[in-house]
Every structure is written in C-alpha cells, then in structure tokens.
Amino acid sequence: MNTIALIGAQWGDEGKGKVIDILASTADYVVRATGGSNAGHTVVSGGKTYKLHLIPSGILYPSAVNIIGNGVVVDPKVVLEEMSELEAQGVSMKNLSIDLRAHVVMPYHKELDELAEAAKGDNAIGTTKRGIGPCYADKSDRIGIRMIDLIQPEVFARKLKENLKFKNDIITKVYGGKPLDYAAILDEYNGYAKKLQPFTCDTGVMLYDAIKSGKRVIFEGAQGTLLDLDSGTYPFVTSSHPITGGFCAGAGVGPTAIKECLGIAKSYTTRVGAGPFPTELNDGVGKHLLEVGKEFGTTTGRARRCGWLDAVILRLAVRLNGLTSLAVNKLDTLTGLKKLKIATKYMRDGKEVTHFPADISLLEGCTPVYEEFDGWTEDISGCKKFEDLPKAAQDYIKAIERLAECRVSMIGVGPDREQRIDR
Ligand code: GDP
Ligand code: IMO
Ligand code: MG
C-alpha cells in the first residue's frame, strides 16, 4: 500500500497546502475528505501563489487525479470560481472529480451561519461564515441536499422547496431576517448543476480500485486536530472531523487504506476565531510571529492569534491521528527571537496537567509550563540539510521530537516548495 494522510496538528493553517503540493509531485490521487470552503490552502510554486479552498492541492500536477470526497461540503459557486481562476492560470480541470454523496452548501446555510454568529454575540465562534456548520447540521438532520440531488433537476427543485420553507421560517421568525427567494436559488443552482455534473462520480469506488492496484494516494487534511468536533476545543471547533479518522468516513475508505500519517505543525501556534489558546502571546513576541510569519487568514483575511509552540497539543495530535511523523513549518519565522519557549505541560490549581483537558472551562484555568531554548539570528531560509541549520535551530527541532514524542521528517524554512529540509 502506498498511501499517506496529511493532517493539521494544531488549529489549522499549519502549511498543509505546501506539504501536500510537495508530496503531490509523485502522487496518483490527492483526496479532500472533510470541511469545505472554510479551508484556505496556499501553494507557492514556480513563483506563483495559488490559494485553494475546495480543490485539492494536487491540482497543479496534471498526472494526479484530484478528488473532492463525500465528506466535503461543496459550495458550487466557490468551486466553480476556483476552477475558473485556476484555468485562467493554465491549470487543467480534466482530473477533478466530485463525489455524488458530497453535501451542497446552499445560500440559506451561509445566511444562517451569519445570523447565528451575530445572535451569539460575545459567545460567537468566529466561524468563516461559509455555511459549513449549518450544512453539516442538515446532513446530520438527514435533510441535506447532495451532489446527486443537485444534478437531478426535479429532485433538486423538490428538496429545495421543502428545505427553503423551513429555513425561511427560521431566518424570518427566529432571527428577524429576510426570506430567500426560491425561484432565484433554483435558477442559480440549476446553472451550477449543469457545469458540475460532468465532474461528479462515485469517488469511493475510484479510490478503492486505485488503492488495490498500488497507486500513490494522498489524503489532504483541512482545518486541524484542535478544530475537531469531538476532540477539539468544543464548541470553538468546526463541524467535521479534521483528524485521520475523518478520512475514512469522508473519503469512503477503510482504516487499513491509510499507511502513513504525517502531521503538519508550525514551529509556533496560531488560531483564527474565538476559543481558548493557552500559549497565546499578546506581547512583542506575538507581534513578531504575526508580522514576520504574515499570519493573516487565507480565507477570511483575519489576523491570526499567535503564541508559543504547545507540546500538550502536539501529543494530542500524535495520539488522535496515529501520527508516524511530523512536518514542522515556518522555522524561519522564529529567526531573530532571542529566547524560544515550548509548553511542556500545564498547571491547574497546583496540579500538573499533561493531557489536553476535555472541557474548555478547565483549559481556561490552565497555565502553561515552559521549557526555554536559545534562539538564532542567521537567515535559515536557504538551508537544505539539517546540518545547515544553526545549532540552536537543530536543538529546537530535537526538543520538538522529544516533547511531542514523534519524529520530525520535514522542516519548512520558507513558503516556496523548495524551501524545506527533508530528513
Ligand atoms: P494551510 O491551511 O495549512 O494549507 O496553511 P495556509 O496556507 O492557510 O497558511 C500557511 C501560510 O504559511 C501560507 O501563507 C504559506 O505560504 C506559508 N508557509 C508554509 N510553510 C512555510 C514556511 O516554512 N515558512 C514560511 N515563512 N511560510 C510558510
Ligand atoms: P485550513 O484548512 C484555520 C476555524 C474558524 C472558526 C472555527 C469554525 O485552512 O487549515 P467554520 O467556518 O469551520 O464553522 O469555523 O474553525 N477554521 C479554521 N481555522 N484554518 C482553517 O482551515 C479553518 N477552517 C475553519 O476560524 O474558529
Ligand atoms: Mg489555511
């Protein structure tokens, strides 16, 4: 078997797009299985920057088949815009497939995402407002509209009518919003259906055959472990399972289909949106990470919250995802900081906490315990080998391996695919 799952080890934006693009050069298939257009994956290749939301990051390689699996929630407008933008840059869509079972993000999902966030006030999650939560809620409620429904005009018209009546009641009567127009949505989505129909198929069957015949398959994670609906910082999470277990349900494969699990982390921690963040820094170091790391969201443009690396989180990621190794990106962003810190555990009410707590109210009472390291000032963005790194940078990576209890197999020293060290 020749398969690998790539998963975010923190709160998303760990540089998954970059690592997937690197591995995709030898891939036959690249598969997205969870999330939707809340994801923003950056690929820098040949001097060009590509920002991908729904289309897998293997699309730049004509040899790779790119699959949007059944577990993804597909916004047809976003995926079509992304396809046009990529085509305008000379990227072919010939090898793109979308699963028939994938659920469709509808205008009322986006409207309800906005309205629910506004109604929550100070308790707002800080979602991307892409309709992700409401779409997954409909899926669980068994009233969702799937790609297979979208491409059958009569089925779609019926399901839209049934759903819209109920959704408009919620929009107007619960939130005092304006109702959405049935005819306008029907017309808009029938247009999308015509364009997307040729890309739809049963991708689970495709993958099964591919894996059986020894093809190289990469599962592309979206979001990150701490945004997982079950194991993340609930309720400040997304509505899917962005952990390796999520690939099985979301791509339609069994657990034995995944051979290796590579966790992607940054050399520090970031998070977009609300929710607890034990190692967050609101000082000069936080400012350094934000500015030097250019920590602004790929999807929403929001400034990311920044803080020290947290080994309690990394150990959770290793355990939940069965990680076989870690890629650590953005080591270059730490250059110039005199001292570096990694949280090894937390203290709460005078007691040690070594595992990530189940309840965020417990997490909020946790104070990180740090191990301190020397920084470095040398420019590392051109380093190709581990031995090229300053000793302090090597020691920092070795400390990550010790504290996360996982081997570091790749180090990112810049945004370009070439700016990396393979170990
Ligand atoms: P993703 O959602 O995990 O794919 O990550 P994003 O694309 O949202 O955010 C990661 C950002 O970091 C992007 O702007 C990348 O180009 C950039 N990046 C990735 N790896 C590195 C690295 O090693 N060094 C630097 N300086 N930037 C990196
Ligand atoms: P990638 O794939 C970072 C966060 C949002 C919010 C929470 C819920 O680029 O790493 P949602 O819109 O999903 O209901 O928002 O999850 N979030 C992300 N944060 N990277 C992402 O994706 C994210 N996708 C969702 O900011 O806090
Ligand atoms: Mg991102």
Q: What is the pLDDT along the chain (423 residues), one digit of tens a residue?
A: 799 999 999 999 999 999 999 999 999 999 999 999 999 999 998 889 999 999 999 999 999 999 999 999 999 999 999 999 999 999 999 999 999 999 999 999 999 999 999 999 999 999 999 999 999 999 999 999 999 999 999 999 999 999 999 999 999 999 999 999 999 999 999 999 999 999 999 999 999 999 999 999 999 999 999 999 999 999 999 999 999 999 999 999 999 999 999 999 999 999 999 999 999 999 999 999 999 999 998 888 899 999 999 999 999 999 999 999 999 999 999 999 999 999 999 999 999 999 999 999 999 889 999 999 999 999 999 999 999 999 999 999 999 999 999 999 999 999 999 999 999
Q: What number of other Cβ atoms are within 10 A of residue 168's Cβ? A: 18
Question: How many residues are listed for the chain in this entry?
Answer: 423
- Sign of the torsion angle spanned by Cα atoms 137, 180, 148, 6: negative
* DSSP at 211: H
Is residue 244 within 8 Å of 258, Cβ to Cβ?
A: yes
- Marked catalytic residue, from 13, 21, 28, 149: 13
- State the amino acid at position 56 in one-letter form: P
Residues with CB under 5 Å of ion ligand 3 are 13, 40, 298
Nearest to 76 by CA among 111, 52, 107: 107
410: its two tokens: 């790749």
Please tell me the distance from the alpha carbon of residue 6 to that of residue 58, in angstroms, as a whole number.
Answer: 13
- Asked if residue 235 has a cis previous peptide bond (ω within 30° of 0), the answer is yes
Please tell me the distance from the alpha carbon of residue 369 to that of residue 357, in angstroms, as a whole number.
Answer: 15
Please tell me the distance from the alpha carbon of residue 162 to that of residue 254, in angstroms, as a whole number.
Answer: 34
Q: What is the DSSP pairing of strand 65-68 with strand 29-32? A: parallel
Q: Which residue has the tokens 């990311």?
A: 304
From 264, 329, 331, 383, mutation site for ligand 1 pocket: most ligand atoms within 8 A of C-beta: 329
- Nearest Cα residue to atom 20 of ligand 2: 12
Q: What is the DSSP pairing of strand 29-32 with strand 217-220? A: parallel
Q: Is 220 in a helix, a strand, or coil?
A: strand
Ligand lying closest to the C-alpha of residue 332: 1
Nearest to 8 by CA among 163, 277, 221: 221
Please tell me the distance from the alpha carbon of residue 42 to that of residue 156, in angstroms, as a whole number.
Answer: 34
Helix 153-169 crosses helix 182-196 at what angle (to 10 degrees)? 140
- State the amino acid at position 297 in one-letter form: G
Nearest to 5 by CA among 286, 227, 230, 207: 207
Please tell me the distance from the alpha carbon of residue 212 to that of residue 189, in angstroms, as a whole number.
Answer: 36
Please tell me the distance from the alpha carbon of residue 94 to that of residue 122, in angstroms, as a whole number.
Answer: 45
- Marked catalytic residue, from 21, 28, 41, 228: 41
- State the amino acid at position 68 in one-letter form: I
Q: Which residue has the tokens 């030097």?
A: 292
Does residue 225's CB lie within 6 angstroms of at least one atom of ligand 2?
A: no
Give Cβ neighbours of residue 228 (< 8 Å, ≥ 6 apart). Answer: 237, 238, 241, 242, 243, 246, 320
Nearest to 233 by CA among 131, 421, 359: 359
* DSSP at 102: P
